[in-house]
Structure 1
Amino acid sequence: MRYMLKIGLGAPQYGVFADPAAISACAVAAEEIGYDSLWVGDRALVPVAPRDAYPGGGEVPDGYRRFLDPIATLSVLAHVTHRMRLGTSTLNAPFYSPVLLARSLASVDILSGGRLDVGLGLGWSSDEYQAIGVPWAGRGARLEETLDVLDRAWADGPLTHHGPLWSVGESYMDAVPVQRPRPPVLLGGFSPPTFERIGRRADGWVGVGLPLPMLSQVVAGIRGSAEAHGRDPEAMRVVVRVNPEVGDEPAPEEYVPARGTVRQVADYLLAAHDAGADEVLIDLQQTTRSTGELTDMAHRFHEELRRG
């Protein structure tokens, strides 16, 4: 049902919005407008001559060269908001020590009063992996073990883990998340192993604006995987993210939702809801240039989506 659609907004974090005043002003405005959630992204660096293509083609937007740390940004958002959920779309899980990641994410959930959604992915840039000192090969297995450590770190009682990559002797980590048994864990990606992993052990998928027939196939694949693993397929959350270039003139339909008017992009998002998305996420940092412009456009999108 369309009226059940959740509407999220990309949190100020990149380019001209990598500014404490912008973060606070946009977050407060988004909550007043009625948005359901705010989401941060994850970037370590932007290589001058990347070895891997930027998702969707083209080059990394110039505004993405300046960015703030996602966990630090979430901490600010937790302080200035009171109702909205706070999510990561997505953290590149292999970048991090799972013990430290468990500590940081639990801290955000505590500071926000239990409002965190944990979106995890593998990233797309082997340059970032090289700079961080993490192998590009085997990143899927690294994510699997990271999820193991998170589950054990957030459980009641001492943490113990012995795996191929990490070994943790019996230890206390009692500052566990408010949400029990853990905050919702959503995984990003498009491969069959990702869909199998989601159905087996995650709470849903955080993806991007695909062509609608493909989106329907992804939703069916994830829910089919959940059912195959004896889990409730309807409990799988689906969050669809768009980073549109918004203009006043309609774009050809083949370019929507990457380009288009507010109405065109909103119509796509409503159709994505019909195709199985529970929540849509609109990031306006690539198409607006000021706090006022971002806030105004966020208001227009919210009105269009609520109008249906």
Structure 2
Amino acid sequence: MKLGLALPTFGPDACPEGILRVCRTAEDMGYDSLWTGDRVLAPRVPSAPYPSHPRVMPRVYENHMDPLVALTFAAAHTTRVRLGTSTLNGMWQPPLMLARSLTTLDVLSHGRLIVGLGLGWMPDEYAAVSVPWKGRGARLEETLDVLEGYWGDDVFAHEGPLFTIPETVVGLKPSQRPGPPVLLAAFSPGGLRRVGRRLDGWLPTAMPLPDLMGMWKVIQKEAVQAERDPATLRMALRVNLRLSDTKASPDRMPQSGTFAQYIDYARAAAEAGVHELFVDFGQLSASLAERVDMAGRFVEGVRRG
């Protein structure tokens, strides 16, 4: 199983020095990938509760960087690690602009991009960028159509319910062919069907492993029904560490637990068949130096297992 690490693009360490320290250290430690998230707002009173426990939006989101710009900066200071978004809300911009940005980053990083898309959870952000909250699933489908077309033939055009792109020559192509892998953060039955039907993989958040692998089986079944090879799909599991001083009961993991419990969870995930797991220490009340130290102990503990 590959291991990844979230970059400090939220909170007090979202700065050039913070990103430089984490991305360079991650390569030295043997991590396989670096990841960024996506926020455009931090409302004082969000219109919808935060989807994970606790149901309050983390304060670190009040200071947020652009995920693709941050990954481009990281790409310039690394040589090996893959660069992923978990998740990028691709619905907040026209798909043609999204295609250009993603392709540029894949070229500049020499083919290290992993595109992780999500639909978001807060209607306020959609309102702020003048994109309707309703119909976002259909908007995602057409965005995927545009990405595939832009990365395909040199001459490209698109006409759909939401977007019209006149015929144009596209000389800029991603280093990865036919394009960078596109993964989706989805948990609803429709979202799981979409992953199996047309995406390259799944971006879940940490949950009890029986539940996780049960949803993965649904995705694989959908892939078979769509006449796709389920073995080609990949899963990249996000784990947001919420550390407790005492060992948590099994029903609390992975919502909270000790550092050793999270290492055990990662080992068990590898045994269950998870392809990649990446950790985010950004919501812990710890200094950057302490989080870098934890990142080193985490990768060593998982690899040793």
- TM-score > 0.5 by shorter chain: yes
| Structure 1, 293-302 or 251-260: larger mean CA deviation | 251-260
Structure 1 moving runs of 4+ over 4 Å: none
| Structure 1, 254-263 or 85-94: larger mean CA deviation | 254-263
Cα distance in structure 1, aligned partners of 2:181 and 2:204: 15
The aligned counterpart of 1:102 is 99
Cα distance in structure 2, aligned partners of 1:131 and 1:194: 24
Map 1:10-159 → 2, pairs under 5 A = 10-57=6-53, 58-159=55-156
Per-residue displacement from partner, 1:16-71 (whole Å, max 9, x unpaired)? 12111000111000010000000110011111111111011421111111010001
TM-score, normalising length: structure 2: 0.97
| Structure 1, 55-64 or 245-254: larger mean CA deviation | 245-254
Cα distance in structure 1, aligned partners of 2:207 and 2:242: 15
- Unmatched tracts of structure 2, length 5 or more: none
2:256 to 251, 256, 259: 259
The aligned counterpart of 2:269 is 272
Per-residue displacement from partner, 1:169-203 (whole Å, max 9, x unpaired)? 01123111100000001011101111111111111
- For the pair 1:303 / 2:300, whether they are aligned, the reply is yes
- For the pair 1:289 / 2:286, whether they are aligned, the reply is yes
What code does the residue aligned with 2:20 have? S
TM-score, normalising length: structure 1: 0.96
Give the conservation status (yes or no) of the 8 Å contact 1:16–1:290.
Answer: no
The aligned counterpart of 1:176 is 173
| Count of matched residue positions in the alignment of Structure 1 and Structure 2 | 304
| Structure 1, 244-253 or 91-100: larger mean CA deviation | 244-253
- Unmatched tracts of structure 1, length 5 or more: none
Deviation at 1:157, TM superposition (A): 0.9
Deviation at 1:276, TM superposition (A): 2.9
Deviation at 1:229, TM superposition (A): 0.9
Deviation at 1:254, TM superposition (A): 2.3
Give the conservation status (yes or no) of the 8 Å contact 1:89–1:119.
Answer: yes
Per-residue displacement from partner, 1:63-94 (whole Å, max 9, x unpaired)? 11101000110111110110000001111121
Cα distance in structure 1, aligned partners of 2:175 and 2:52: 37
Per-residue displacement from partner, 1:231-280 (whole Å, max 9, x unpaired)? 11111101111111224432233222222222101111222223331110
Cα distance in structure 1, aligned partners of 2:292 and 2:175: 30
2:196 to 195, 199, 206: 199
